Amino acid sequence: MKKIIMLCLIIALSACKSVQQPKMFYQENDKVFPLGYDSLWDKLTQDLIKSGINIKMADKANGIILTEEPLNEEQTYKYTDYDSKKSNSNLQSCDENLLISIKSDFGLTKVGIKSLTTCTIEIRKWRGKISEVVLKKIDCKTTGAREKEILDFLSDNK
């Protein structure tokens, strides 16, 4: 009886180790700053470049920045809702595009960030004993973590 109880305890404790941390989701994707347009634009573009995020297009006159960045597996898990364990697939690649808008009004500057992420996944389809690998593009939802990081950076560096 003691062996059975000990075995159940070991199984229960080992199961706790493999539990994955739940993803954090953030709702905020825009923020108003008491900064001038030019200084906020400069801080934002410098931070994106410093972070290694590729600026695909920057139109300062219209307040639009478009970025493009391939995400590694860790970033994909952090910044998107994709989870290979839940989807029963293998991640091949993931690309994130950020559309950042900056608007100034009455001495305040608003920054809005929209994330568009597409991942290519590998799905194995079985037909009897024969398997076929299919690549499929999927749109992933943002966790809001990337947006939060950028907005927090701008808040911390007033």
Share of the chain above pLDDT 90, in %: 47
Q: What pLDDT shows up at residue 133?
A: 85
Question: What are the beta bridge partners of residue 34?
Answer: none
Does the structure show a pLDDT above 80 at 151?
A: yes
Q: Which residue has better confidence, 147 or 12?
A: 147
13 pLDDT above the threshold of 60: no
Tens digit of each residue's pLDDT (9 = 90 or more) over 35-89: 889 999 999 999 999 988 999 999 999 999 999 999 998 999 899 988 877 767 8
Domains of the chain: 27-156 (3.30.530.50)
Using CB atoms within 10 A of its CB, is residue 66 exposed (0-12), middle (13-18) or buried (19+)?
middle
pTM, two decimals, is 0.76
- State how far the Cα of 53 lies from the Cα of 73, in Å rounded to an integer: 16
Choice between 17 and 80, residue whose per-residue pLDDT is larger? 80
**Residues 80/94, Cβ–Cβ less than 8 Å:** yes
What mean pLDDT comes out for the span 149-155? 90
**19 falls in which pLDDT band (50, 70, 90)?**
very low
**The residue type at 154:** L
Pure H helices in 31-144: 37-50, 73-79, 84-87
Alpha-carbon distances of 96 from 53, 127, 133, 146, 151, rounded to whole Å: 10, 34, 24, 10, 17
Give the max Cα distance, the chain: 76
> Two tokens at 87?
């989807």
Mean pLDDT across the chain, nearest whole number?
Answer: 83
Q: 6 or 155, which is more confident?
A: 155
